[in-house]
Structure 1
Amino acid sequence: MRANDKPLSRTQSASIINRKIHNLRGESFRHARNQKQHLPLADLTTQHTHNSPTLPANLLADSAYTQEDASRRPRDTREALFVVKRVDRPQHGPPATITSTSAWRAEALSLTIPAIGEHQNVPPLTSLCLQILRTAPFDADFSENILPFIPPHLRRTLLRWSAVQAPLTTHQLRALCGSDGDVAGELIVVGPDAGLREDHFKHADANSRFAEWESEDWVAPPPMHTFVLVSSHLAVSLMCTLPATLTHLALVNVLNPVSLHRLPMICPLVESLDLSYNTWLVAEADARERLGKIQWSRWHQLRILGMRGCHVPTATVAEVNKGRWDDVHVVK
């Protein structure tokens, strides 16, 4: 605009803009007619109205529209810009709960294995190496070429660390335990991805055991003294085969009710019993019924009873301490 020109009014500016839009639409119409000479003029005029877009309808459409049927494609530019597209989100598992966190697992296991909850700012080199082994595939090659060279106390360290930080699956747990069924006398099973078969605690056949005893290099494994089951199922048939040598028994957050009255006859040497966070011991009536059937006098060595998150009847505490020189420490 030159200096001596007068500014345009709003009406004049709108007229110029409309004229330019009209010219652009005319050019688009002529271009479409040249591209589609086979179509009659009536079809072209119906496709271009005064308020229809001049841009191709699928200019801003993504690949999702091309994979669907033509009826789902945007009808005009406005729909292509503002249509709400369905996004297929990845399918995840069930929502995380407090029992699936490492902090909860460390606290749940700390009563039976106090050292498991200890925090180290600088973990030792052996622990760092064991964490790398945790990511290895627990296949036949691992069982034959790696596992025999890991000392039992380091395998136990790996078992404890995995129970808190990254619980093992059933297959990985069996590979780590080997033929003994435990690691240096300990077995920690953390669900829901891990469980035990009904014959887990049953020894091999007598012939294979006799061959091992006859071997000069055979060393008797230590008796199993600790069994911890967290967030998994415990079948009655499996419970009846628990080793009688157990001194530390933890059934924490077990998913199914357990026949507790059978335990004193199966594991008479228990010194520490943890029944914490079991939902079937929360209600007062359920706790009184299930705990009242136990013959506590059979557990002569019992020193610690874990009942965190459960209802503890007063009559049960009196029955537990009946006839003892020292009271059992009940952890609520």
Structure 2
Amino acid sequence: MNIIFFSTKQYDKEFFTQANQHHNHQLNFLDVPLNHHTAVLAKAGDAVCVFVNDVVDESVLKIFAKYDVRLVALRCAGYNNVDLKAAAAVGIKVVRVPAYSPYAVAEHTLALILTLNRKTHRAYNRVKEGNFALNGLIGFDLHGRTVGLIGLGRIGLVTARILKGFGCSVLGYDIAEVKEAQELGVETTELDNLLQISDIISLHCPLTPQTHHLINEDTIAKMKDGVMLINTSRGAIIDTKAVIKGLKSEKISYLGLDVYEEEGDLFFEDLSNKVIKDDVFMRLLSFNNVLITGHQAFLTVDAMQSIARITLQNLTDFEAGKKLENEVLP
């Protein structure tokens, strides 16, 4: 198949080219993001491969249908950026990578927790300048603390295992019953209870209409004073302006983000020589108890190999007319 890749970086090219030795598709890598203006670039393709911030709305899908693009392959787990009903209406199938490496995201979650707690990022900068003072670097033992996980899918469960290894009490909330959580010693509970008694809250749920701005002024008000909030899931699960208020009032004492609700104009690009015009994001950066990484939780060798392998297998199965195990339906 002739596949047009949007929003590609050098690491995408390397891992997909290597994995394609077993499939022999024609891979065309574009560094531009997908939107209404760039969709025409797919006109020579049989399928497109897109990432988390590409826009696959009704207008884009109609352009694809016009040029006989038959498949949208997401090289990620989330699909909130795709209008599934519009895709079905024009006869375009959508596939994704439901699980690439839950360990990658779970381990990055712990990296944010540990860095914020023990302030290793601040200590690193101090030592480089010859400052070995310990004032302002006091942390707390994770052992014995209560951590609330919102979302008990693959990533949430791996995160729970790691936290249990630290000696944490782990609470979990999910709309579905997850038997494995109980086997791990995770106490499942209602959302309000989790918010009220957790020292650390970590988000691992998908972005849906129900979870959009799940963390807002009302839910923040229910949290413990001095709570640590971590998000390695999707940016729009958090109402950023409400979180800023929480930081200013000191209701939230630590904030770790690998995602941001308006990240599409920021993340995955080098903007070091440009003025960042997002005032809300810049306000976040002004807090010394906020740690932000640029949507890199997924970025391990293991995860990239899985993403490339599963994505290309999805494409091969489609070409062969096989059942699409990873199809996303409206």
Structure label with greater radius of gyration: 1
Q: Could you say which structure has the greater relative contact order, defined with CA pairs below 8 angstroms and 6 or more residues apart?
A: 2
The structure richer in strand per residue is 2
Scaled by the length of structure 2, the TM-score of the pair is: 0.32
The structure richer in helix per residue is 1
Scaled by the length of structure 1, the TM-score of the pair is: 0.31
